[in-house]
Structure 1
Amino acid sequence: MTAMDERPVDAGALIHELEGHLLIEATRGEGRAQAGLFSQQFGWLTDSQRAEVEERFAEEYVALAQVSWRRTVQRGAELRGEYEEAYRVLRRRLVAGWVFGMGLLSATGVAVLSLVRP
Protein backbone atom coordinates (compact mmCIF):
# COMPACT_ATOMS: atom_id res chain seq x y z
CA MET A 1 0.00 0.00 0.00
CA THR A 2 1.19 3.49 -0.69
CA ALA A 3 1.25 6.07 2.06
CA MET A 4 -0.48 8.63 -0.14
CA ASP A 5 -3.65 7.02 -1.45
CA GLU A 6 -4.18 3.59 0.15
CA ARG A 7 -4.18 1.82 -3.24
CA PRO A 8 -2.05 -1.31 -3.54
CA VAL A 9 1.19 -0.96 -5.43
CA ASP A 10 1.48 -3.12 -8.56
CA ALA A 11 5.07 -4.36 -8.30
CA GLY A 12 5.00 -5.80 -11.83
CA ALA A 13 3.97 -2.46 -13.31
CA LEU A 14 6.68 -0.66 -11.36
CA ILE A 15 9.31 -3.13 -12.54
CA HIS A 16 8.20 -2.73 -16.16
CA GLU A 17 8.29 1.04 -15.83
CA LEU A 18 11.78 0.91 -14.32
CA GLU A 19 12.96 -1.42 -17.11
CA GLY A 20 11.55 1.02 -19.65
CA HIS A 21 13.44 3.94 -18.12
CA LEU A 22 16.66 1.91 -18.01
CA LEU A 23 16.22 0.86 -21.64
CA ILE A 24 15.65 4.44 -22.76
CA GLU A 25 18.69 5.67 -20.83
CA ALA A 26 20.88 2.90 -22.26
CA THR A 27 19.66 3.77 -25.75
CA ARG A 28 20.38 7.46 -25.16
CA GLY A 29 23.91 6.52 -24.10
CA GLU A 30 24.34 4.40 -27.23
CA GLY A 31 22.96 7.26 -29.32
CA ARG A 32 25.42 9.72 -27.83
CA ALA A 33 28.31 7.31 -28.43
CA GLN A 34 27.26 6.74 -32.04
CA ALA A 35 26.75 10.48 -32.51
CA GLY A 36 30.33 11.10 -31.39
CA LEU A 37 31.62 8.55 -33.88
CA PHE A 38 29.46 10.03 -36.63
CA SER A 39 30.56 13.61 -36.03
CA GLN A 40 34.25 12.68 -36.10
CA GLN A 41 34.12 12.38 -39.87
CA PHE A 42 33.29 16.09 -40.12
CA GLY A 43 36.54 17.65 -38.92
CA TRP A 44 35.54 21.04 -40.27
CA LEU A 45 32.65 21.45 -37.78
CA THR A 46 33.04 23.97 -35.01
CA ASP A 47 32.55 22.74 -31.44
CA SER A 48 29.03 24.19 -31.26
CA GLN A 49 28.11 22.72 -34.65
CA ARG A 50 29.51 19.34 -33.63
CA ALA A 51 27.49 19.46 -30.39
CA GLU A 52 24.31 20.27 -32.33
CA VAL A 53 24.90 17.48 -34.88
CA GLU A 54 25.58 15.02 -32.07
CA GLU A 55 22.47 16.10 -30.18
CA ARG A 56 20.23 15.72 -33.22
CA PHE A 57 21.84 12.41 -34.15
CA ALA A 58 21.28 11.07 -30.63
CA GLU A 59 17.64 12.22 -30.66
CA GLU A 60 17.06 10.53 -34.01
CA TYR A 61 18.79 7.38 -32.76
CA VAL A 62 16.39 7.14 -29.81
CA ALA A 63 13.38 7.92 -32.01
CA LEU A 64 14.32 5.17 -34.46
CA ALA A 65 14.85 2.72 -31.60
CA GLN A 66 11.38 3.53 -30.25
CA VAL A 67 9.82 2.95 -33.68
CA SER A 68 11.61 -0.38 -33.85
CA TRP A 69 10.38 -1.33 -30.37
CA ARG A 70 6.79 -0.46 -31.30
CA ARG A 71 7.01 -2.58 -34.44
CA THR A 72 8.43 -5.45 -32.41
CA VAL A 73 5.59 -5.18 -29.89
CA GLN A 74 3.02 -5.05 -32.70
CA ARG A 75 4.51 -8.07 -34.44
CA GLY A 76 4.68 -9.94 -31.14
CA ALA A 77 0.97 -9.29 -30.59
CA GLU A 78 0.22 -10.48 -34.13
CA LEU A 79 2.23 -13.67 -33.63
CA ARG A 80 0.60 -14.27 -30.28
CA GLY A 81 -2.83 -14.05 -31.92
CA GLU A 82 -1.78 -16.42 -34.69
CA TYR A 83 -0.33 -18.96 -32.25
CA GLU A 84 -3.34 -18.73 -29.94
CA GLU A 85 -5.65 -19.43 -32.88
CA ALA A 86 -3.52 -22.38 -33.99
CA TYR A 87 -3.58 -23.67 -30.41
CA ARG A 88 -7.40 -23.39 -30.28
CA VAL A 89 -7.72 -25.30 -33.55
CA LEU A 90 -5.36 -28.04 -32.38
CA ARG A 91 -7.12 -28.27 -29.02
CA ARG A 92 -10.50 -28.62 -30.74
CA ARG A 93 -9.10 -31.37 -32.96
CA LEU A 94 -7.63 -33.17 -29.98
CA VAL A 95 -10.87 -32.99 -28.02
CA ALA A 96 -12.88 -34.09 -31.05
CA GLY A 97 -10.49 -37.00 -31.63
CA TRP A 98 -10.64 -37.94 -27.96
CA VAL A 99 -14.47 -37.83 -27.94
CA PHE A 100 -14.61 -39.84 -31.16
CA GLY A 101 -12.12 -42.38 -29.79
CA MET A 102 -14.02 -42.74 -26.52
CA GLY A 103 -17.27 -43.15 -28.46
CA LEU A 104 -15.67 -45.77 -30.68
CA LEU A 105 -14.24 -47.55 -27.64
CA SER A 106 -17.61 -47.49 -25.90
CA ALA A 107 -19.38 -48.79 -28.97
CA THR A 108 -16.81 -51.55 -29.30
CA GLY A 109 -17.22 -52.41 -25.62
CA VAL A 110 -20.98 -52.57 -25.95
CA ALA A 111 -20.71 -54.75 -29.07
CA VAL A 112 -18.28 -57.12 -27.34
CA LEU A 113 -20.46 -57.35 -24.25
CA SER A 114 -23.55 -58.02 -26.38
CA LEU A 115 -21.71 -60.88 -28.08
CA VAL A 116 -20.44 -62.30 -24.80
CA ARG A 117 -23.81 -62.19 -23.01
CA PRO A 118 -26.48 -64.49 -24.33
Structure 2
Amino acid sequence: MDERPVDAGALINELEGHLLIEATLGEGRAEAGRFTRQFGWLTDSQRAEVEERFTEEYVSLARLSWQRTVQRGAELRGEYEEAYRVLRRRLLGVWVFGMGLLSAVGVVAVSLARR
Protein backbone atom coordinates (compact mmCIF):
# COMPACT_ATOMS: atom_id res chain seq x y z
CA MET A 1 0.00 0.00 0.00
CA ASP A 2 1.15 3.55 -0.69
CA GLU A 3 2.69 5.23 2.38
CA ARG A 4 1.81 8.79 1.33
CA PRO A 5 -0.84 10.53 3.45
CA VAL A 6 -4.28 10.88 1.92
CA ASP A 7 -5.31 14.44 1.03
CA ALA A 8 -8.87 14.51 2.35
CA GLY A 9 -9.68 17.81 0.61
CA ALA A 10 -8.61 16.50 -2.79
CA LEU A 11 -10.51 13.26 -2.20
CA ILE A 12 -13.68 15.15 -1.27
CA ASN A 13 -13.33 17.43 -4.32
CA GLU A 14 -12.92 14.40 -6.59
CA LEU A 15 -15.94 12.70 -5.05
CA GLU A 16 -18.04 15.86 -5.44
CA GLY A 17 -16.96 16.08 -9.08
CA HIS A 18 -18.05 12.50 -9.75
CA LEU A 19 -21.37 13.08 -8.00
CA LEU A 20 -21.95 16.27 -9.98
CA ILE A 21 -21.24 14.51 -13.28
CA GLU A 22 -23.52 11.60 -12.37
CA ALA A 23 -26.32 13.99 -11.36
CA THR A 24 -25.90 15.88 -14.62
CA LEU A 25 -25.96 12.63 -16.61
CA GLY A 26 -29.19 11.69 -14.84
CA GLU A 27 -30.70 15.09 -15.60
CA GLY A 28 -29.57 14.83 -19.21
CA ARG A 29 -31.10 11.38 -19.60
CA ALA A 30 -34.38 12.56 -18.08
CA GLU A 31 -34.47 15.61 -20.38
CA ALA A 32 -33.60 13.42 -23.36
CA GLY A 33 -36.52 11.12 -22.53
CA ARG A 34 -38.90 14.07 -22.29
CA PHE A 35 -37.55 15.45 -25.55
CA THR A 36 -37.91 12.23 -27.55
CA ARG A 37 -41.43 11.48 -26.27
CA GLN A 38 -42.75 14.14 -28.61
CA PHE A 39 -41.48 12.14 -31.60
CA GLY A 40 -43.76 9.12 -31.58
CA TRP A 41 -42.64 8.08 -35.03
CA LEU A 42 -39.06 7.26 -33.91
CA THR A 43 -38.12 3.61 -33.69
CA ASP A 44 -36.69 2.33 -30.41
CA SER A 45 -33.15 2.36 -31.78
CA GLN A 46 -33.59 5.86 -33.22
CA ARG A 47 -35.04 7.08 -29.93
CA ALA A 48 -32.09 5.55 -28.03
CA GLU A 49 -29.59 7.24 -30.36
CA VAL A 50 -31.30 10.64 -30.12
CA GLU A 51 -31.45 10.31 -26.33
CA GLU A 52 -27.76 9.37 -26.19
CA ARG A 53 -26.71 12.33 -28.33
CA PHE A 54 -29.01 14.69 -26.43
CA THR A 55 -27.49 13.52 -23.14
CA GLU A 56 -23.94 13.98 -24.46
CA GLU A 57 -24.78 17.51 -25.60
CA TYR A 58 -26.49 18.27 -22.29
CA VAL A 59 -23.42 17.20 -20.31
CA SER A 60 -21.11 19.04 -22.70
CA LEU A 61 -23.08 22.27 -22.27
CA ALA A 62 -23.11 21.80 -18.49
CA ARG A 63 -19.31 21.38 -18.45
CA LEU A 64 -18.88 24.48 -20.59
CA SER A 65 -21.09 26.38 -18.17
CA TRP A 66 -19.03 25.12 -15.20
CA GLN A 67 -15.79 26.14 -16.93
CA ARG A 68 -17.14 29.62 -17.59
CA THR A 69 -18.27 29.89 -13.99
CA VAL A 70 -14.81 28.87 -12.75
CA GLN A 71 -13.17 31.35 -15.10
CA ARG A 72 -15.45 34.18 -14.00
CA GLY A 73 -14.90 33.25 -10.36
CA ALA A 74 -11.14 33.50 -10.87
CA GLU A 75 -11.56 36.88 -12.59
CA LEU A 76 -13.72 38.20 -9.75
CA ARG A 77 -11.31 36.86 -7.16
CA GLY A 78 -8.46 38.72 -8.86
CA GLU A 79 -10.49 41.92 -9.02
CA TYR A 80 -11.49 41.71 -5.35
CA GLU A 81 -7.97 40.85 -4.23
CA GLU A 82 -6.63 43.89 -6.10
CA ALA A 83 -9.31 46.13 -4.58
CA TYR A 84 -8.43 44.73 -1.14
CA ARG A 85 -4.71 45.46 -1.70
CA VAL A 86 -5.53 49.05 -2.75
CA LEU A 87 -7.72 49.57 0.32
CA ARG A 88 -5.03 48.15 2.61
CA ARG A 89 -2.42 50.49 1.11
CA ARG A 90 -4.77 53.45 1.54
CA LEU A 91 -5.54 52.50 5.13
CA LEU A 92 -1.85 52.10 5.90
CA GLY A 93 -1.14 55.47 4.30
CA VAL A 94 -3.86 57.17 6.33
CA TRP A 95 -2.62 55.47 9.50
CA VAL A 96 1.01 56.51 8.88
CA PHE A 97 -0.12 60.06 8.09
CA GLY A 98 -2.27 60.14 11.24
CA MET A 99 0.57 58.86 13.42
CA GLY A 100 2.93 61.40 11.89
CA LEU A 101 0.44 64.19 12.46
CA LEU A 102 -0.18 63.02 16.03
CA SER A 103 3.57 62.90 16.66
CA ALA A 104 4.02 66.40 15.25
CA VAL A 105 1.20 67.72 17.44
CA GLY A 106 2.80 66.00 20.44
CA VAL A 107 6.19 67.55 19.70
CA VAL A 108 4.63 71.01 19.32
CA ALA A 109 2.64 70.54 22.54
CA VAL A 110 5.72 69.43 24.46
CA SER A 111 7.77 72.33 23.11
CA LEU A 112 5.01 74.82 23.99
CA ALA A 113 4.68 73.32 27.47
CA ARG A 114 8.41 73.79 28.12
CA ARG A 115 8.25 77.52 27.42
Fold similarity call, TM over 0.5:
yes
**Superposed, which structure 2 residues align to 1:5-16 within 5 Å?**
5-16=2-13
Of 45, 59, 62, the match for 1:62 = 59
Alignment RMSD (CA, Å): 0.5
Rounded to whole Å, the distance in 2 between the matches of 1:67 and 1:85 is 27
Rounded to whole Å, the distance in 2 between the matches of 1:85 and 1:60 is 37
Question: What residue in structure 1 maps to residue 70 of structure 2?
Answer: 73
| Number of equivalenced pairs | 115
Q: Aligned pair 1:17/2:14, yes or no?
A: yes
After TM superposition, the score normalised by the length of structure 2 is: 0.98
Q: Aligned pair 1:99/2:79, yes or no?
A: no
After TM superposition, the score normalised by the length of structure 1 is: 0.96
1:5: Cα distance to partner? 1.7
Rounded to whole Å, the distance in 2 between the matches of 1:6 and 1:47 is 51
Deviations 1:39-83 (A, max 9, x none): 011111001100110011001100100000000000000000000
Q: Aligned pair 1:42/2:52, yes or no?
A: no
Q: Moved runs in structure 1, 4+ residues, more than 2 A? A: none
Rounded to whole Å, the distance in 1 between the matches of 2:5 and 2:78 is 31
1:113: Cα distance to partner? 0.7
Question: What residue in structure 2 maps to residue 116 of structure 1?
Answer: 113
Structure 1: tracts of 5 or more residues without a match: none
Rounded to whole Å, the distance in 2 between the matches of 1:29 and 1:83 is 36
Structure 2: tracts of 5 or more residues without a match: none
Rounded to whole Å, the distance in 1 between the matches of 2:94 and 2:65 is 43
Write the letter of the residue equivalent to 2:6. V
Question: What residue in structure 2 maps to residue 31 of structure 1?
Answer: 28
